[in-house]
Amino acid sequence: MQHSFQYDKRKVLQALRYHFIQRPEIRVLIILVNVFAIVSAVLFYMQKIRPEPFLLGSLIWLLMVAAFWFILPNTIYRRSSTFKDRFIAFFGDQEMVLENERGYINWGWGKFSKWFESPHFFHLYFDDKSFFLVPKEGMNETFRHELRSLLRQKIDQKA
């Protein structure tokens, strides 16, 4: 199977957001900040605390949203030249081959630890923090189905 693609900035930023939200430590952080914000809002409403803890919780929540939704994805996008290239990906029984005008790389399926699917991409993880995005744009439904089957078969764990 062969797929030619290049990246769309808006879709890549959304995929990076999915990556961050999938991280267990970030999920725990989001839950803790939300609990703190809710508890401080309730205590402030009941006049048990001054407004500073409530404002602090709100500020932390806003900073966290800005970091995970805007700052981190944009920083990663700007620093990575990968998102500006055109690629051809070959999906075989033994490996995935990725090619661009500068060369190619072979990744045996054993290199990948897990994968998951978001609305616009297949996320192929090498480890918890290193991954490669395969855009769905340009794939017909049959190709997507075949790729899903191949990923299920070749990569042990689905994220």
pLDDT tens-digit series, residues 109-157: 999 999 999 999 999 999 988 999 999 999 999 999 999 999 999 997 6
pLDDT of residue 54: 80
Radius of gyration of the chain (CA): 20
Backbone φ, ψ for residue 121 (5° rounding): -145, 160
Residues of the chain with CATH 2.30.29.30: 2-6+82-158
As to burial, measured by CB atoms within 10 angstroms (0-12 exposed, 13-18 middle, 19+ buried), residue 102 is: exposed
* pLDDT (mean) for 57-70: 89
**What pLDDT, in 10s, does the model give residues 44-56?**
899 998 888 888 8
CATH class entry, domain 2-6+82-158: mainly beta
| pLDDT in the model for residue 5 | 95
* In the chain, % of residues over pLDDT 90: 70
Does residue 2 carry a pLDDT above 80? Answer: yes
The predicted model gives 96-108 an average pLDDT of 94
Q: Indicate whether 159 pLDDT > 80.
A: no
* Whole-structure pTM value: 0.83
